[in-house]
Amino acid sequence: MSASSDPSHEFGLPEGYFAQSAFLADEFVEELSRVDLEFARKNAVFESKPFVRTFERALDRLQAAQGALGATIAKLEQTASSSAADHGKKMARLKKTFATVGGSFERLETQISEVSSNTIRIGEQLDTVAKEKERAEAIKELVEFYAELNAGNTRHLDALLEGGAEGMLKVAHTLRRLNTIVVDNEYSAPSDAAAKRQIEIYSENFEKAMLSSFETAYRDGDVPSMGVAARTLDAFNGGVSVVKVYINQHPFFLSSMVGHSTDSADDGADANAMPDASDMTARPPPPDRRLAQLYSDTRAVMYKDW
C-alpha cells in the first residue's frame, strides 16, 4: 500500500497502522489521543475539549470510511453477482452447445452406420451382379462353342489349345460342360446330333492328346509338363484316365504284379506253415514277408517320386 493511499495519515496514526493483523480498541483510542495526552501531561492540565474534537473528527472519518467501504462492498457484491449470472449463462450456453455437439455426433454416427450398411448391401449386390454377369458370359460362350461345333467349326477351341496351360485348362472345362449338356439333352432335336458327335470326337481326341503328352513327359522326366497334363485331365474327367496311365507305366506297379504272380505258388506252403491259424489262443504268426516287402517298396517309391 503506498503512502498516499494509506488512511492512517488521515487519523494522525503511524503509517500502516490499519494494515496490522491484530486490532485493539484501547490501543487505537490511546494512539488516536496520543498528542492530546502529551499536551495535558506537559501542562499538568486536563482539558476535555481537545479530546472531544479529536474523537469527533475520527468518528466523522470512520463513518465516511464505513460508508465508502459499504459502497465498495455493495459494488463488489453487485459485480460478483453479475459475474456469477454471466458465468451461469455461459455455462448454460456451453452445456447446450455440448449437448448439440453430442447430438450431432450421434446423428453423424448413425448416418455413418447407415452408409456403411448401405455400402455393404451395395457391395453384395454388385458382387452378385458380377457373378451373374460372369455366369451369363460363360453361358453365352458355351452356347457359342456349341453352335460352332454343331456347324463343324472347331477354330476357337483350337486357338485356345495354342494358348498354353491356361488355354488347355479352359478347353478341358468347356468340353466337360459341353459333354454334360449332351448327356442332359439325350432326347434333343435331330439337328443337334452333329454337335453331339463333334463334341464326342473332339473330347476323345483331346483326351488322347493330353494322355500322350503326359506319357511323353513321364518318359522324359519332365515333372512340370506332367503336372500341366494331369491338371488338365483332372478338369476334363476328374483325372481317372491319367491315374490309369500312371499306374500302368510305373515300374512299381509292374514289379508288384510280377512279384504277385511269382509268389502265388508259395501260398500253399505259407498256409501249411501256419497250422495254428484257427487257434485263437495261439501266438500270432510272424508278419507276412510279401506285405512287409510291399510296405518297404511303397515307402521307397514315395521318397523317390515325391
Q: Which of 261, 262, 259, 270 is nearest to 293 (CA)?
A: 259
DSSP 165-207: HHHHHHHHHHHHHHHHHHHHTTT--GGGHHHHHHHHHHHHHHH
In the predicted model, what is the mean pLDDT of residues 32-40? 69
Give mean pLDDT, residues 122-126: 89
User: Using CA atoms, how far apart are residues 73 and 38, in angstroms rounded to an integer?
Assistant: 38
Residue 21: helix, strand or coil by DSSP? coil
How many angstroms separate the CA atoms of 53 and 253, rounded?
144
pLDDT higher at 129 or 60: 129
The per-residue DSSP string of 28-72 comes to: HHHHHTHHHHHHHHHHT---HHHHHHHHHHHHHHHHHHHHHHHHH
258 band by pLDDT with thresholds 50, 70 and 90: very low
| Half-sphere exposure (Cβ direction) of 159: Cα atoms closer than 13 Å | 5
| Mean pLDDT of all residues belonging to the chain | 78
User: 163 or 85, which is more confident?
Assistant: 85
The rounded percent of the chain whose pLDDT value lies above 70 is: 73
Write out pLDDT tens, residues 143-191: 888 888 888 888 888 888 888 888 888 888 888 888 888 776 654 555 6
pLDDT at 7 over 70: no
- And the C-alpha cell for 185? 439333352
CB 8 within 8 A of CB 61: no
Cell of 231: 491338371
Cβ density class 183-209: b for 16+ within 10 Å, e for less:
eeeeeeeeebeebbebbeebbeebbee
- Furthest C-alpha separation in the chain: 167
Task: Using alpha carbons, select from 248, 165, 170 the residue that is nearest to residue 213.
Answer: 165
Residue with cell 463343324: 152
Read off the pLDDT of each residue in 66-71 and give the average, rounded to a whole number: 86
Residue with cell 498256409: 271
- In degrees, to the nearest 5, what angle opens at C-alpha 179 toward C-alphas 177 and 185? 105
Instruction: Name the residue with higher pLDDT: 46 or 291.
Output: 291
